[in-house]
Chain A
C-alpha cells in the first residue's frame, strides 16, 4: 500500500469516528448544546479539555520552538501548563458553582451591568476568532502535506467535519469527539518519540531519555547537544537567559492568558459538581503533561538528529569538534525524508561555496576560515514533529498516524473556540441582551446558526489569513490575560468590586496591552506602521510586546480597585451572589435562567 493510501486510511478512519460520535451525541436542548447536559465525568472532561487546549501549535510547533530556542523557550512549557493551576484554584470551581453557560454570563450578572457583559463578549470574540485562524491554517497544512490535496480543499474539508459534529451536537458532540481526538493525537505524538528516544539513548521513555546518556557518544545527551551546536556557532541549548524580567513576565502572561481563555473555562461548566471541576482541572493537566513532558525530549532529540544527519562525524565520540565539522554530507547523499520536505519548500538548500556539501551553521557566525561562505540550509521548525517518523525510519503507518494526530489537534481546538464564539452570540448577545423572550427552540436555532456562521468566518480567515496571523497569538493571550482573567478573579475574590471598577479595569487592561502590542508590531497589525522597531533596545524595561499581558493584568487590577474604592458599593444581592459562588453547597447542574 502506498504512503498516500495509508494516510488516507488513517485520516478517513478518524473522520468516520468523529462523525459516528456526532450522530450518537446530538444535542436535544440548549443545556446539551452549551454544557453537554452538565453531566460529564471529571476524567472525561479532563481528556476533552486537554484536546481543547492543545492546538495545532502544541502538536506541530512546540517541539520545533524548543529545538530552536532550547532553555529560553521553556516559557511555553511552564506558561501553558501553569495556567491550569490558577484556573483550578482561582476560577473554575466558583464559575461552575455560579452555574450558567458562558463567561460573559458571569461578568454581566456579577457586575450587574450589560456594558460589562458587552465588553466581555467583545473580548471573547476577538480572542477566539484570532485563535481559530491558526487552527484552520494548521489543518490546511496537515491536509496538503499528507493527503496531497490543495490547501483550499483541506480547509473546506476540515470545516465540513467540524460543521457536522459541532452544529448538530454542540458541546455534547464536541466533548466526545475531543476525547477521541485526544487519544488519536497523544498516540500519534508518543509513538515516534518513544522510538527516537530508544534509538538515541536506549531509554524508551522520552522524558527520561532526554536526561540520559547518548549511546553513540557515551556523553549525556544534552551535553552532547551543547557541544555540537556550539561548534557550529549556535548558542548552547541549555544556555541561560540574560533578560530574566522578560522571561518571568512572558511566562506569567501565558499563564494568566491560559486561565482567562473562554473556550477552556467553559469546559468546566460541563461537570456535575464543584468538586468535580477541581479534580477535572488536575486530570486535564495530567493529559496535557503527557504531551508537554514529551515535547522537550522530541525537540532536543530532533535537533541532535538533524545536526548529526548533516555532520555524520559529530555523532560518535569526538576528540576535536572543529575538525568534525569539516565533512558535512554531500548534497547528493541526503536522506529521503530530506528530499520529501524539500518538495514542500520547508527545507531549502543553497550551495553558496559550490563544494557540493551542506554547510549548516548559525548564519550570524563567521566561518570564512573554514572555507564557508554562509549558512546553506534553512529548516522550518514546524516540520520536526511531522518529519520525526521519517527521520527515525519508522514504518509508513506511523506517518499516517501523525497525519491524523495533527488534524485532530487542530480540529479539537477549533471546535472548542467555535462553541465559545457561538454561545457568546446566541446566548449572551441574542438571548440575554436583545431578546430575553426567545423560546428554547428559538435559542437552539440561533445557537446552530451562529455556530455555522462562526465556521464560515473561520474558514474564510483560514483561506485568506491576514498577514499578521503569526502575531495573533500575542493578541489572544493579551486580551484574555489582561482583560477577562482579572475581571473574573475579582468578581469572585472581592465582594467590594463594583460595576464601575470592573469596567474601568477591563478597558484599561485591554487598551494598554493593545497600545503596547501595536506600538511594536504595527497598528492593527498592518506591517510597517509600528511606531518603534520591535527590538529589545526599544522595549520599555526590556519587556517584549508578547510579555505585556501580565503588565496589562496588573494595570487592570490597580485601576479596578482604585475606581471601585471611590464609587458606590455593589448592592446586597450582588454581595449575596459572590458569597454563594464561594461555597459548593447547593450547586445544581448548570441551570438555565
Chain B
C-alpha cells in the first residue's frame, strides 16, 4: 500500500513536470515569439513580413498541435511505466 502510494505520487510529479515543460513552450511561442518578443525577431523575414507575424498567425497553432500529441504520447508511456493505465 505504501509502495502504491509513493508510486502514484511519483507518477503525479512526473505528470506535473511534463505539463510545466509543455506550458513553458506554449507560453513561449504565443505570448513570447508572437507578441512580446516580436520586435526582437523583426530582422528574421518570412514571406514579406517577420517571424513574429508568422508565429502569431500560424506558428503558434502548429506548435500547439505538436504539444498536445507530444503530451498524450508521453503520458501513455508514463501510464505504462507506473502501471496506472486503464
B48 contacts A221, CB within 8 Å?
yes
B31 contacts A278, CB within 8 Å?
no
A281 contacts B68, CB within 8 Å?
yes
Report if A71-B62 is in contact (Cβ < 8 Å); known contacts: A85-B22, A282-B69, A583-B8. no
C-alpha spacing A83/B49, complex, angstroms: 26
CB < 8 Å: which of B12, B30, B47, B48 contacts A251?
Answer: B30
Specify which chain A residues have a CB less than 8 angstroms from the CB of B16 in the assembled complex: 493
B79 contacts A275, CB within 8 Å?
yes
A445, CB-defined interface residue at 8 Å:
no
C-alpha spacing A592/B59, complex, angstroms: 42
CB nearest to B79 among chain A residues: A584
Specify which chain B residues have a CB less than 8 angstroms from the CB of A84 in the assembled complex: 64, 68
| 0 or 1 for each of B15-43: is its CB under 8 Å from A? (1 = yes) | 11001001100100011001110110000
Contacts of A33-83 to chain B: CB distance below 8 A: 66, 71, 74, 77-78, 81-82
Contacts of A286-310 to chain B: CB distance below 8 A: 286, 289, 292-293, 296
Specify which chain B residues have a CB less than 8 angstroms from the CB of A292 in the assembled complex: 61
Stretch at the interface among A1-9, A205-213, A451-459: A205-213
C-alpha spacing A273/B72, complex, angstroms: 12
B56 contacts A278, CB within 8 Å?
no
A289 contacts B71, CB within 8 Å?
no
A88 contacts B53, CB within 8 Å?
no
| 0 or 1 for each of A216-245: is its CB under 8 Å from B? (1 = yes) | 000111111010000000000010110010
A275 contacts B72, CB within 8 Å?
yes
CB < 8 Å: which of B23, B39, B58, B60 contacts A86?
Answer: B23
CB nearest to B66 among chain A residues: A282
A352, CB-defined interface residue at 8 Å:
no
A334, CB-defined interface residue at 8 Å:
no
CB < 8 Å: which of B8, B48, B60, B71 contacts A224?
Answer: B48
C-alpha spacing A110/B54, complex, angstroms: 42
Specify which chain B residues have a CB less than 8 angstroms from the CB of A226 in the assembled complex: 48-49
Choose among B12, B30, B57 the residue with the greatest number of A CB atoms under 10 Å from its CB: B57
C-alpha spacing A241/B36, complex, angstroms: 10
Tell me the total A-B contact number using a CB cutoff of 8 A: 139
Closest CB of chain B to A557's CB: distance in Å? 15
CB nearest to A207 among chain B residues: B58
A82 contacts B48, CB within 8 Å?
no
CB < 8 Å: which of A224, A244, A248, A275 contacts B86?
Answer: A275
Q: Chain B: interface residue count, which band?
A: 35 or more
Closest CB of chain B to A587's CB: distance in Å? 5
Specify which chain A residues have a CB less than 8 angstroms from the CB of B71 in the assembled complex: 88-89, 278
C-alpha spacing A21/B54, complex, angstroms: 40
Specify which chain B residues have a CB less than 8 angstroms from the CB of A587 in the assembled complex: 86
A296 contacts B39, CB within 8 Å?
no
C-alpha spacing A285/B67, complex, angstroms: 11
A81 contacts B56, CB within 8 Å?
no
Closest CB of chain A to B54's CB: distance in Å? 7
Specify which chain B residues have a CB less than 8 angstroms from the CB of A586 in the assembled complex: 86
B47 contacts A71, CB within 8 Å?
no
A78 contacts B86, CB within 8 Å?
no
Specify which chain A residues have a CB less than 8 angstroms from the CB of B61 in the assembled complex: 77-78, 81, 285, 289, 292-293
A593, CB-defined interface residue at 8 Å:
no
A289 contacts B62, CB within 8 Å?
yes
B64 contacts A82, CB within 8 Å?
yes
B35 contacts A248, CB within 8 Å?
yes
A85 contacts B53, CB within 8 Å?
no
B53 contacts A238, CB within 8 Å?
yes
B35 contacts A247, CB within 8 Å?
yes
B72 contacts A278, CB within 8 Å?
yes
A279, CB-defined interface residue at 8 Å:
yes
Specify which chain B residues have a CB less than 8 angstroms from the CB of A279 in the assembled complex: 69, 72
CB < 8 Å: which of B12, B31, B50 contacts A582?
Answer: B12
A222 contacts B76, CB within 8 Å?
no
C-alpha spacing A221/B57, complex, angstroms: 15
Specify which chain A residues have a CB less than 8 angstroms from the CB of B86 in the assembled complex: 273-275, 584-587
B79 contacts A212, CB within 8 Å?
no
Report if A78-B34 is in contact (Cβ < 8 Å); known contacts: A71-B56, A583-B8, A584-B85. yes
Q: A240-B52, A296-B57 are known contacts; what are 8 more A-B pairs with Cβ within 8 Å?
A: A78-B30, A86-B26, A210-B47, A275-B75, A278-B71, A279-B72, A289-B61, A289-B62
25 contacts between A and B (CB under 8 A): A77-B61, A81-B61, A82-B30, A86-B23, A89-B19, A89-B68, A207-B58, A211-B49, A211-B54, A221-B47, A222-B47, A248-B35, A251-B35, A252-B31, A275-B86, A281-B68, A282-B69, A285-B64, A289-B65, A293-B61, A296-B58, A579-B8, A584-B85, A585-B83, A585-B84
